Structures are given as C-alpha cells and as structure tokens.
Amino acid sequence: MNAELTTRVVVAQNGDVAGPHTSQPVSIDIPVPKATSATFRIPAAIWCMLVAITSDMIGGYWDVAWHQSIGRDTFWTPAHLAIQLCGVLGGLTSGFLILSTTFGHSPAAYQRRSASVKIWGFRGPLGAFIAAWGGFAMITSAPFDNWWHSAYGLDVTILSPPHVLLMSGSIAIDIGTLILIGGAMNRSHGDLRAMFRRLFLYVGGIIVMHSCFLITEYTGSGALHSATAYLVVSMAVPLALVGVARASEHRWGNAIIVAVYTAAVLAQLWILPLFAAQPKLGPVYQNVTHFIPMAFPLLLIVPGLALDLLRRATKPWKPWLQAVSTGTVFLASFVSLQWPFANFLMSPLSRNRIFGTHYFSYDDTAGFMYDPYRFQASENTRSQFWMVMTVALVAAILTTRLGFVWANWIKRVQR
C-alpha cells in the first residue's frame, strides 16, 4: 500500500503559523514531496571509475584497429593513451578512496570508514583495493609491452604476456568498479538504488565485452561452425552475464548487459572505418585506406532475453537445477542462432559496412594464401565435434553455477 508522506504543522485560523499570540490553533497535515532521482547524487569517485573503464573499452577496440590498419608505430598512440587512462584514473581514484578513508577526518570519510574493509593497515571500500591493484598492473604493463616488442618484434596474438597483464589489470578495475557500485546499491533504497542498478548493469556489459575480446581469436566468422568456438564462449560469458544480472535483481538484467555489449561493438564496427588510416609497416597484402574494425558482435542478445524469461519460470527451483536449465538454454539458444548466422557472414550479402566481413588487416593474406569465406574446423571428426560440444554444455552449466555463487556474494556486499 502506497501511503503519501505528510508532516503535521500547527497553524492559526488566519493562516499564520501558530504562536503564543494566535487564537484557536488548528493542526493540519501537509504532504511532503516524494524524493526523486534528481535528489540523489552518484559519488564523484564512481563517475571517475566509469569514465576509466569506458576509456579502456574505447581504447582497446581502437588499438586493435590501429594495429590492423597502421601497425605498431609507437607506444604513444591515442588508443594506447585511452587504455592507460583507465589505469591512471582508476588507480588514482581508488588510491584517493583508500587514503581519504584511512586518514581523512571529514564527515564523508567517517561515513566511508563505517562501510570499509581493512587491508595492511589501510581502510577503504573492497572494490577500491581491487581496482588499485588493477591500475598498478595496467601501468606496469606499459614498459613491459615496450620491452616485449623490442625483444620479440610485432605481436602475433592478442594474448601475449604484456597484453595478459594489461587485460588482467583492466578486468580488475572492472570488477572493482562493479563491487564499489554493488556495495552502494546494497546500501541504498528507492530511486537511488535504481540508479546504482543501471550503472551496475552497464559495468556488467563492459565485463562481457572484455570476456568476448579475450576469445576473439577463437570466435571469428570462420570458426563459428566449430565446437571449440562455442566451448570458449561457454567458458567466458555465462559467469559474468548471469552473475551480474542475477545480482542486480533486474527483470531484464541479462538482456540489458548483452545490449551494452552489442551496441558498443557495433559502434566501433560502424564508426572506425569512417576515419582514414594507412599502413606504416610491411608486408602489406591488403589495400587499407581507413581503420579496420573488429568483427561483428556475437549474437548474445537472444540468449540474454531467453535467460531473463527462464529466470522467472525457474525461480522456485533449487540452485543446481536452475544452473542446469540456464546453462543449457544459454548454449542451445546461442548455437541455434549463431550457427545459421555464420552461414550468412560467409556469404556475399554480409560484405558491406553493416556486417563488415570485407574488412581485412593490412598484413592479412586473405585471398592470397587462404579463403577467408570458408569455415575452418577445429575438430577432425563428427565424434570429436560432439565431444567438444558436450564439454561446452558442461562448461556453460558450471560457469552459470559459479555465476549464481558470485551473485549471492555480491548481493551481501556492504563495504
């Protein structure tokens, strides 16, 4: 039942506030305006963390396009600077939260101290400690990456050691930001809680983007008729997707997270080719005149919608039964859509600005040494295919169950 808040004020019959010289005072109830979202403010530290992880997201995709279009000409590219801004801004913001909570004497510092953890004598939000480590890892990766290039030449893989350190740091900042917002969300109510929930889901979308970014080499259009592609997706996506959506308690949490991922990847696919670029390194096999973006996003939007609908139907079930059904629906809905869509991506109809399958890196031998529009199978026999697909199903179930555990934990986070 929604009751309107009121306050009782004593007034005189002539309308003045009652006092010692007024006659026949009357008590009336005056409605108090309901607080709106404009009444609340998200802390500046959270906005700084959101700017940091967004800069990292933009810089990461921009950096891959730079490597595919120009080559690694210098560390001081705008894309690298956008990535390192995440480490610098995220690390400084986290450090400020920890130091101000530990040594500050302002009312805000005392308030943060009551919702903090103690590590090595310092006090601060748990998310700030995780993000501070992430900032240190990202900044450390910069000279490591320069040394790696000097010693071994150009990268031939996304998962080189300095890149793994860099991405570990960026994911730590993502997780730290998620926990920072989650703790604030758990301590809030009403409109303020709804605002934190939207930011929480946005960060979930960034984490799913990073998960898909890490498995890019296994999920190209030519690999999408291979069971290995679906295995790596089952290992990388459900934990973040299901965990964050469940912790948010939003009825469309999975769909919102996937929508953030899809919109961001489509944005880089459609925007980056608008800018001119020319290779500065060789050998050059493709005539590149503009930035070459990363590929069309995985079709996770249908699994996202399916999981939201399933969650309502299976809410009374036991956790393991929910995990089995959720993991199965995730993999089945993803395969049933992505498999036929992969056929389309191999067809001439997809070789345009919308789907981008005609883009190739300047050093790609596509069309010279291999057919880029032919599926490359990772499994040699049908039995191997179904064995790997079975492992993918088990992986989807297990990572979903871990997502439930993660969600239950973060819903209890207060610090």
Model pLDDT for residues 189-226, shown as the tens digit of each residue: 888 899 999 999 999 999 999 999 989 989 999 999 99
Is the residue at 4 inside a domain? yes
- CA 382-388-394 angle, to 5 degrees, is 140
Across the strands, what pairs with 122? Answer: 119
Q: How confident is the model at residue 271 (pLDDT cuts 50, 70, 90)?
A: very high
Is the residue at 5 inside a domain? yes
In what helix (H) or strand (E) does residue 304 lie, and over which residues does it extend? helix 301-313
Paired tokens of 293: 């973006």
Neighbours of 388 (CB within 10 A): 17
Is the residue at 22 inside a domain? yes
Q: Any long-range contacts for 188-194 (C-beta under 8 Å, 24+ apart)?
A: 190/35, 191/35, 191/36, 191/37, 191/39, 191/40, 192/37, 192/40, 194/37
Task: Tell me which of 37-46, 125-134, 159-168, 376-385 is least confident.
Answer: 37-46
Q: How confident is the model at residue 251 (pLDDT cuts 50, 70, 90)?
A: very high
State residue 254's pLDDT score.
96
* Mean pLDDT in residue range 44-70: 92
The whole-angstrom separation of Cα 274 and Cα 357 is 16
Q: How confident is the model at residue 28 (pLDDT cuts 50, 70, 90)?
A: very low
Is the residue at 25 inside a domain? yes
State residue 1's pLDDT score.
38
Is the residue at 201 inside a domain? no
The chain-wide mean pLDDT, for the chain, equals 85
* Type of residue numbered 28: I
Is the residue at 13 inside a domain? yes
* Mean pLDDT in residue range 6-34: 44
The whole-angstrom separation of Cα 320 and Cα 208 is 23
Q: Which domain holds residue 3?
A: 1-33
Paired tokens of 307: 């999981």
Is the residue at 377 inside a domain? no
Number of structural domains (the chain) is 1
Q: Any long-range contacts for 108-117 (C-beta under 8 Å, 24+ apart)?
A: 115/183, 115/187, 115/414, 115/415, 116/415, 117/415
Is the residue at 350 inside a domain? no
pLDDT digits (tens, 9 = 90+) for 339-391: 999 999 999 999 999 999 999 999 889 888 888 899 988 888 999 999 999 99
Inform me whether the pLDDT recorded for 289 exceeds 90: yes
Phi-psi region of 120 (alpha: psi -120 to 50; beta: other; left: phi over 0): left
Q: How confident is the model at residue 122 (pLDDT cuts 50, 70, 90)?
A: confident
